[in-house]
Amino acid sequence: MSIQLAIAGLTYFMILVVAYTIIIFTNLGEEKSEEIIRRAFNNAYSILAFGMLVIYALIVLPHITLDYQTTSYLILASKFISVFTLGGSLFIFTRKRCSPKAERF
């Protein structure tokens, strides 16, 4: 039952992040929004790749035994962290780019 709730929460948060990405793309200029989205997705992909590398290392290590349920929870947690990174990066880069202090320089 808890894995279904985790997947529902992940789906909800992914929809929120995609909606925020669409808002950024439509409200900001094309160059600014593309740069913000590109940098945020690069951060999220690197976090996801690192998480998957850690999970793979845990699976390969002979002294750690992981069953399928634990592995699926670890993969879901890695995806949660990458989506949180994507949303946080979008928020921070948008505030950083749109502030009057950042535009002066």
pLDDT at 45: 92
Average pLDDT of every residue of the chain: 83
Per-residue 3-state assignment (H helix, E strand, C coil) for the chain: CHHHHHHHHHHHHHHHHHHHHHHHHHHCCHHHHHHHHHHHHHHHHHHHHHHHHHHHHHHHCCCCCCCHHHHHHHHHHHHHHHHHHHHHHHHHHHHHHHCHHHHHC
19-38 residue pLDDT tens = 888 888 888 777 888 888 88
The predicted model scores a pTM of: 0.77
